[in-house]
């Protein structure tokens, strides 16, 4: 079954057409770049578990669920 693209809503005839344009201009990607260190970005959460369960408890729960 083919999926068709949704059609934009039709504008009523009594209204003037609206000019469609992007919300923002071109982005300066270099200005947006924020270097990440060991305590920022994804590095700040990798390897950290929010609970106090041991690895053995987690493995036992996963085994029980499977």
**pLDDT bucket at 56, cuts 50 / 70 / 90:** very high
Cα of first residue to Cα of last residue in the chain, in angstroms, is 35
Determine contact, residues 11/17, Cβ cutoff 8 Å.
yes
pLDDT digits (tens, 9 = 90+) for 6-22: 777 776 667 777 888 88
Q: What percent of the chain is modeled with pLDDT above 90?
A: 14
Determine contact, residues 36/42, Cβ cutoff 8 Å.
yes
């Amino acid at each position: 079954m083919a999926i068709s693209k949704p059609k934009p809503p039709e504008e009523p005839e009594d209204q003037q057409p609206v000019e469609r344009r992007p919300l923002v201009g071109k982005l300066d990607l270099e200005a947006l770049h924020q270097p990440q260190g060991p305590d920022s970005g994804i590095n700040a959460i990798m390897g950290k578990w929010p609970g106090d369960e041991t690895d053995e408890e987690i493995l036992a729960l996963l085994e029980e669920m499977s």
